[in-house]
Structure 1
């Protein structure tokens, strides 16, 4: 954008030299708008640019200056819209409404402004209008075929739409364009995992963690995939990597405790440690309550406390997701029969 602003400035200053006598207010307004734009970062500064240009008489300028003036106005509208969108609390609150108006006005002035198209695609996605969002991402990619984030953003959208092969293809392209971005590998890892490509998903999660070793979530993603693949020892190592980065992460603590309580490998299983982890947890959020109950009950059973395990597990019967009910009810039956639970891998991939 900096180079474009210089072009705008050149045109404005050149036009001002020949037309200032006839349109001094317009020339001054455009020059002021450009001056503000060089260092603008706040909503108020972008508003000043917008006001300056809207108060000028662009219609009286020659076509070239009018075009660049509209481009500068579209740029400022889009930037102000981005700042407003960052403040939204709900998809239809006052900030969202104001941001959408800015994005639409930017595109009305400059239909080829790809960043505004991308922002409108985010708006549509947030509102659940997936097809409209996908169409705009298509336009962005057609305009900017070398923009890695455009492919990544469309991949994220297609993942949410359940278009897993298409999403993987978009992540492939993003990675080819920008191979050092950890988010791209994580996105492809999620899509591959959901598609059933567990081994390649693990490779992606591992690469994401290698690129971003200070991020606990990268380690957790890798550990979860390894546990689901039955690579128990590697999973345990990566959960502990995650805990070194974030010792209070609830997802890590619950999933490590689950592994310690239910792992088929007796050399890794440690019911007492699993019990200690779960008993020390406090303030469990509602969306994690079932996972906590399930894990705590498994740890109790592993330490031989079957009666208590049964009582605890039964408190989760009204919370269990429909997709997990049959497995959970089987575990409750195990505990009633004084049997411990042993998990099985979703799909065996490679060795330990």
Structure 2
């Protein structure tokens, strides 16, 4: 019984907003005698962006070397999403005043908004060279590092931000997201809890913390956080006000999924069915809902549709060095039973430095499906060595050693040790964990215990797995170990 293969849905995106010179900087008076400076400042503070552009343009006509006027006009352009014009103003500033760190801050923010993360990082680094510990630059650079998969480096910037501003709640939540990406769930929980001291009504923080609690087996705390997240979520109201608000359905569907309410999630994702916005991403989400509901054929159909729409292809083309895109596509290919392609994606993710605890157990399971037992065993062993307190590989390796069709791989005694360790780490074992433990006992000749556990596994198993569970139980009742010829 191979390792549980559960897709991870992280309810956040790094880099949702890049920071540039905004209102808190505008109280610094422009050094000019012209009234258009004050007008531009006032318009910018009030959000009258086009009027602000006009005022600063008039000032620039009269003072073509006025650096501040270019700076503030670039900020107005950014908010108007006129990024090329904003970029031109920043370029002009760096020519007029090469030491003006705000120009690099704004130019880096522009590149961030344009999804040119490496350029963003370069600009923010230059800003920090000119003005060490400039918090907006540190935060922007951390966002960009995160989006390029350099989570450890991003973590360094967030650590510094917290040293500079230990009472800033957003820094804790953002560092928590880094820890979550690194699968350091306990550290993430600490940061989310700290942030919740200041932001008590954040549905996102409760959702993220709930996810982390679930990953370390603290189901009671996870359920409490998910319940609170659902109570606080803004999407119910948004949908009532506008039943055609597709984005809110997607966001609420993600939250339902994380909370384990798969039918509710599926209902929300299905709102896309008759719209032009049915994307490969939504099909993948629906596939995982069906998978968790035990509707295997429907799940495979959704995954196949997503594959035909080149799921993750655009993301990989845009950011070919981001290992998580290949990992996610590997999950998709595994579930649509293209194990060779799944191996290709998992291996590529591994070469790019992907550190997910799930990667090697997934690749090991794919090797098992292709009867490459030596490679499967090696992946499971490496996964356990790298993450000795993570249950993902223990179940897979225990199953291989107990049931492998090739007798040279069987080792009932070690299988039993691994299966027990898996159940201890999980705290609340599921049907397939108990099934693996039963197979391990059978492999050691303890059929009484194998029968007892196989019955427990059968009682907990989803409907589509019950026939196989029954078959294994009958083997043990006849004092026969089980051999998994289908693997």
Q: TM-score under structure 2 normalisation?
A: 0.50
Specify whether residues 297 and 201 from structure 1 end up closer, same or farther in structure 2 by C-alpha distance, changes over 3 A only. same
What residue in structure 2 maps to residue 292 of structure 1? 286
Specify whether residues 50 and 314 from structure 1 end up closer, same or farther in structure 2 by C-alpha distance, changes over 3 A only. closer
1:283 aligns with 2:271: yes
For structure 2, the residue ranges without an aligned partner over 5 or more in a row are 1-24, 237-251, 273-277, 308-327, 338-364, 366-430, 432-460, 470-487
For the aligned residue pairs, the C-alpha RMSD in angstroms reads 3.2
> Structure 1 CA distance, aligned partners of 2:268 and 2:133?
50
> Structure 2 CA distance, aligned partners of 1:277 and 1:31?
58
**Where has structure 1 moved over 6 Å in runs of 4 or more?**
none
Specify whether residues 288 and 207 from structure 1 end up closer, same or farther in structure 2 by C-alpha distance, changes over 3 A only. farther
Correspondence 1:192-271 to 2 at 5 A: 192-246=179-233, 248=236, 249-257=252-260
Residues 189, 204 of structure 1: 8 Å contact kept:
yes
Q: CA deviation at 1:173?
A: 0.7
What residue in structure 2 maps to residue 135 of structure 1? 122
What residue in structure 1 maps to residue 59 of structure 2? 52
Find the residue that maps to 1:112 and give its secondary structure: coil
Specify whether residues 334 and 281 from structure 1 end up closer, same or farther in structure 2 by C-alpha distance, changes over 3 A only. same
Task: Count matched residues.
Answer: 276
After TM superposition, the structure 1 stretch with the greater mean CA deviation from structure 2, 112-121 or 318-327, is 318-327
> Structure 2 CA distance, aligned partners of 1:214 and 1:123?
31
Q: CA deviation at 1:199?
A: 1.3
> Structure 2 CA distance, aligned partners of 1:150 and 1:190?
18
Residues 37, 59 of structure 2: 8 Å contact kept:
no
Q: CA deviation at 1:245?
A: 0.7
Structure 1, residues 3-54: CA drift from partner, whole Å, max 9, x if none? 7527x25xxxxxxxxxxxxxxxxxxxx4333443452423323432332342
Correspondence 1:331-350 to 2 at 5 A: 336-338=464-466
Correspondence 1:1-352 to 2 at 5 A: 4-5=28-29, 8-9=31-32, 30-37=33-40, 39-41=42-44, 42-55=49-62, 70=65, 73-88=66-81, 95-246=82-233, 248=236, 249-257=252-260, 275=263, 278-279=266-267, 282-284=270-272, 286=279, 287-299=281-293, 301=294, 309-318=295-304, 319=306, 321-325=328-332, 326=334, 336-338=464-466
Structure 1, residues 123-180: CA drift from partner, whole Å, max 9, x if none? 2334454343222212222333243222222111112222222211110111111223
What residue in structure 2 maps to residue 266 of structure 1? none
> Structure 2 CA distance, aligned partners of 1:159 and 1:74?
32
Q: CA deviation at 1:101?
A: 1.2
> Structure 1 CA distance, aligned partners of 2:335 and 2:169?
34
Residues 183, 208 of structure 1: 8 Å contact kept:
yes
Residues 33, 53 of structure 1: 8 Å contact kept:
no
Specify whether residues 140 and 227 from structure 1 end up closer, same or farther in structure 2 by C-alpha distance, changes over 3 A only. same
Higher relative contact order (CA 8 A, sep 6+): 2
Residues 168, 188 of structure 1: 8 Å contact kept:
yes
Q: CA deviation at 1:275?
A: 4.0
For structure 1, the residue ranges without an aligned partner over 5 or more in a row are 10-29, 59-69, 89-94, 259-273, 302-308, 342-352
Q: TM-score under structure 1 normalisation?
A: 0.67
Residues 149, 174 of structure 1: 8 Å contact kept:
no
Find the residue that maps to 1:5 and give its secondary structure: coil
Residues 53, 77 of structure 2: 8 Å contact kept:
no
Residues 40, 51 of structure 2: 8 Å contact kept:
no
